[in-house]
Amino acid sequence: MTTLRRLNDNVSDLSTLPRIAAMELQRMQQLGVALPARREVNSDDYNSCSKAVALLSRCNPTLLSEYMPVDVSREGNNCLFRSVSVALYGSDENHEQLRVRTAIEIALHRAWFDSTHQEYCAPFKEDPYVVCPSYRELCSSITTPGQEADVMSVLALSAVTGVAIQMYFPHLAVSFDQPPLTKLVIGRGVESRKIGVVIMWSSASSIPAMGHVSINHFVPLLRKSQRNATVDVLNVSAESQLNNSTPDMRKSADDDTDQ
């Protein structure tokens, strides 16, 4: 959390933030701080999230035949990072490092996260339904322990972990349209379109049988088996989302390390 504090102290001057972030990343490398190797995760080793199960039972019960929503703590509003840590490394103990690395990624590669940047290249930049915070607001929230994460944090997490992250947002409305936050997110430098993590926008509140649900929590969705199922059960047009991430966009952001 010391790294987050030092980054947060410099959010008021965005011109110095990349330099501070680079220094923090170098310090972590010198200390040998690194994420563990990815491991195979078995859903049988975890408890299911009863609220996410109730939500899926209401809006997409078919998904429960293939995936299990895993119970993760909402403590410190780090549920996104806990979810990815569980899905990739088998426990949530790496959530703090994931948040730190996400903050550094956002600070070092502004073109991927700042809609006002001349070379803005987030893969959903043309999506009118994805509303993102200002860059300063994003930097402030991601470096402040206890602040909630959003879709931009997922984009940075994809780059940090090196995998594509499938987001699933419960389809609560009676509509043929797919919820805009159900999409495949591919971060900077991630070449494979193979889904590495599936996370669900869920709720920490009780799930009513009908009516409004407060979406305020993330949980990982782990496959229940190793059979050759596909994520088509998510009812996601992943390919259409990936088409928004062009080679030119990837290159422009890779080159942008000093903004």
Chain centroid to Cα 5, Å, comes to 21
Residue pLDDT tens, the chain, 259 long? 689 999 999 999 999 999 999 999 999 999 999 999 999 999 999 999 999 999 999 999 999 999 999 999 988 889 999 999 999 999 999 999 999 999 999 999 999 999 999 999 999 888 888 888 999 999 999 999 889 899 999 999 999 999 999 999 998 876 667 788 999 999 999 999 999 999 999 999 999 888 899 999 999 999 996 543 444 445 444 344 333 333 333 333 344 434 3
* CA distance linking residue 100 with residue 227, whole number of Å: 35
Pairing of strands 164-168, 183-185: antiparallel
Cα–Cα separations (whole angstroms), residue 237 to 69, 168, 181, 222, 241: 21, 12, 12, 20, 7
Question: What residues does each domain of the chain span?
Answer: 2-255
Structure tokens belonging to residue 39: 């491991």
Annotate 111-162 with DSSP letters as a single string. Answer: GGT-TTSTT---TTTT-TT-----HHHHHHHHTSTTPPP-HHHHHHHHHHHT
Q: Which CATH class is domain 2-255?
A: alpha beta
* CA distance linking residue 69 with residue 120, whole number of Å: 34
